[in-house]
Amino acid sequence: MTDWTTHTTRARAWFESLRDRICAEFEAIEREAGSDASFQYTPWNREHEGEAVENGGGGVQGLMKGKVFEKVGVNVSTVQGEFSKDFAGSVNGASADAPGFTATGISLVAHMRNPHVPAVHMNTRFLTTSKAWFGGGGDLNPPIPYEEDTAEFHAEYKAACDKHDAEYYPRFKKWADDYFWIPHRKVHRGVGGIFYDHLECADDAAFEANFAFTRDVGDAFINVFPRLVRKRMGMEYSPEEKLTQLEYRGRYAEFNLVWDRGTLFGLKTGGNIDAILMSLPPEAVWS
Q: Tell me the catalytic residues.
A: 121
Is residue 13 packed enough to be buried (19+ CB in 10 Å), middle (13-18) or exposed (0-12)? exposed
SS3 state of residue 98: coil
Amino acid at 122: M
Give residue 167's identity as a one-letter amino acid code. Answer: E
Helix intervals (H) in 33-118: 85-88
- What gap in Å lies between CA 177 and CA 191, rounded to an integer? 8
Query: Chain-centre distance of CA 226, in angstroms?
Result: 16
- What gap in Å lies between CA 17 and CA 138, rounded to an integer? 18
Residue 131 CB: number of other CB atoms within 10 A? Answer: 14
